[in-house]
Structure 1
Amino acid sequence: MPRRFIDLSIYLENEVASDPPGLEPHIQYFAHDSSYEQIAPFFPGLRKEDLPDGEGWAVELVRLSTHNGTHLDAPYHFHSTMDKALGAQRSAISIDEVPLEWCFQPGVKLDFRHFEDGYVVTAADVDAELARIQHRLKPLEIVMVNTSAGQRYGQRDYVSAGCGMGREATLYLLERGVRLTGTDAWSWDAPFVHTAKKYRETGDASLIWEGHKAGRDIGYCHLEKLHNLESLPAHGFYVSCFPHKIRGASAGWTRAVAIFDDALTAADAAAS
């Protein structure tokens, strides 16, 4: 069977509801017929008509946050320290320090599309889903959660859609050796609009970003704004999600891909 790839990434594009207002990416396009002015200073005396068909290069000017598009969050994004629960608290690693072996591992998909928007997934929910798909977690597996937000990307309610992973659900994964997770929602945690309501009602600040803050106890990374998770089986594939190498940054963009390869899965099975 030939190797097969499934793209798990969204586009970086203009005028699509991918982030809260004011935080969206912006791309300025320069086509072949509009870039002569960029080329001319390099070659004094050059006329536009001297270029083949009068065309220059195509190039884009991009204004981005490291958290636009499909990206990998580093532990540094969550808190200044990590690994407190492991007895060796240390400075949280930035995206350029994330171990590469975390970013290419067997993948596992948990289907949480049935949970309502704003629901906070518990450890019991994760345990039940693993039982349903008959899978026992192994260290370094990449665990991705398929939420109802995945099918609403680009719609106005995308940022407020889907369930989120709570602190205990996140620690359930990390305590079993998982170090990289992912979601097709805007955030690993429940959408802010739902958490804000709970905070107003309870005054409990520990509810804010509770899944992210689990990284204080055990350092980990997660992918956000994944896509196409509904097309994946529960397991039997690899995930590649190497982040862009930005010095000292809290996140890096990635072209996340699911890879189906009989040789890879057979080797993994033999190793376990």
Structure 2
Amino acid sequence: MPRRFVDLSIFLENDVVSDPPAFAPKIQYFTHENTFEQIQPFFPGLQRHQLPDGEGWAVETVQLSTHNGTHLDAPYHFHSTMNGKLGASERAIAIHEVPLEWCFQPGVKLDFRHLPDGYVVTAQDIEAELARIGHVLQPLEIVVVNTRAGSRYGQPDYVSSGCGVGYDATMYLLERGVRLTGTDGWSWDAPFVHTARKWADSGDASLIWEGHKAGRDIGYCHLEKLHNLEALPPDGFIISCFPHKIRGASAGWTRAVAIFDEALVPPAPRAQP
């Protein structure tokens, strides 16, 4: 049966809002017209006109955080330890240690686009959405959440848009064997601007990064800044998201892709408010 591939990744690019300004990627492009000076030292005496059409190569230099673009967070990003609720706490694994089998599994999409910006998804919300789509979670399935942030990518409010997934909701997934999750928002947790208001009112620091910190109890990974989740059905597809192998790093860039049969037609989208 024919397969269809859906790109779930955003571009790495300049001048598009994908991160707070201080964390934005920076890409410098060198074209065929301006790289002769890079080539000439390898070939003493070479003249520009001797190259075919006088052209050099194209190459780029990139200044990145491991958390720019669509990327996979390792448990080490969340905390120094993991698996506290599975026995004794262990050293949190870095991105080069993430099991490859976590990164190529059946996918499940939860549609939370109707939830307001800053909302913190609960375990009850997860249960209700799984019931709506008629899916029973299986160990190692990759669960991605489609939030309003996906429609705001590149806009000034992207970083502050969408809901986040709270501690109890994250643990609901992890306790059922899920080890890799994802979001089309800037963060798995609710945008900081909303959490900051709650923290200012309550003084409860456990609200800060609560979904991420679930990794202290059960180690897991999540994808951030996914794209095009609207194109996916609720289930019946595979997600491939192998991370770049950066020794000791807290995250790695990935070209996340969904793979599913052409015969699987996505249902009508959830009505938006």
Report the TM-score range of the alignment, normalised by the length of the smaller protein: over 0.9
The 5 Å alignment of 1:63-78 reads 63-78=63-78
2:11 paired residue number: 11
Counterpart Cα distance in 1 of 2:245 and 2:238? 21
Aligned length: 263
Q: 2:21 is paired with a residue of what secondary structure?
A: coil
> 1:2, CA displacement in angstroms?
1.1
Counterpart Cα distance in 2 of 1:47 and 1:205? 64
**Alignment deviations for residues 42-101 of structure 1 (CA, whole Å, 9 cap, x no partner):** 000011111000001000000000000000000000000000000131000000000000
Tell me the amino acid that sits aligned with residue 251 of structure 1.
A
2:28 paired residue number: 28
Counterpart Cα distance in 2 of 1:231 and 1:100? 25
Counterpart Cα distance in 2 of 1:75 and 1:112? 24
Q: 2:194 is paired with a residue of what secondary structure?
A: helix
Tell me the amino acid that sits aligned with residue 237 of structure 2.
F
Q: Could you list the runs of 4 or more consecutive aligned residues of structure 1 that deviate by over 4 angstroms after TM superposition?
A: none
Q: 2:126 is paired with a residue of what secondary structure?
A: helix
2:267 paired residue number: none
Counterpart Cα distance in 2 of 1:3 and 1:149? 28
User: Where does the alignment leave 5 or more consecutive residues of structure 2 unmatched?
Assistant: 263-273
Tell me the amino acid that sits aligned with residue 200 of structure 1.
A
- Determine whether 1:253 maps to 2:253: yes
- Determine whether 1:238 maps to 2:234: no
1:268 paired residue number: none
1:270 paired residue number: none
Counterpart Cα distance in 2 of 1:136 and 1:2? 26
Counterpart Cα distance in 2 of 1:123 and 1:25? 34
Counterpart Cα distance in 2 of 1:162 and 1:70? 16
Counterpart Cα distance in 2 of 1:255 and 1:194? 29
> 1:157, CA displacement in angstroms?
0.1
2:83 paired residue number: 83
1:137 paired residue number: 137
Counterpart Cα distance in 2 of 1:261 and 1:184? 23
- Determine whether 1:173 maps to 2:173: yes
Tell me the amino acid that sits aligned with residue 245 of structure 1.
K
Counterpart Cα distance in 1 of 2:208 and 2:47? 59
Counterpart Cα distance in 1 of 2:88 and 2:144? 27
- Normalised by the size of structure 2, how large is the TM-score? 0.95
Tell me the amino acid that sits aligned with residue 3 of structure 2.
R
- Normalised by the size of structure 1, how large is the TM-score? 0.96
2:50 paired residue number: 50
User: Where does the alignment leave 5 or more consecutive residues of structure 1 unmatched?
Assistant: 263-272
**Alignment deviations for residues 189-219 of structure 1 (CA, whole Å, 9 cap, x no partner):** 0000000000000000000000000000000
Q: 2:223 is paired with a residue of what secondary structure?
A: strand
> 1:261, CA displacement in angstroms?
4.0
Counterpart Cα distance in 2 of 1:175 and 1:47? 65
Q: 1:19 is paired with a residue of what secondary structure?
A: coil
- Determine whether 1:229 maps to 2:208: no
2:157 paired residue number: 157
Tell me the amino acid that sits aligned with residue 132 of structure 2.
R
1:208 paired residue number: 208
Q: 1:126 is paired with a residue of what secondary structure?
A: helix
Q: 2:195 is paired with a residue of what secondary structure?
A: helix
> 1:160, CA displacement in angstroms?
0.1
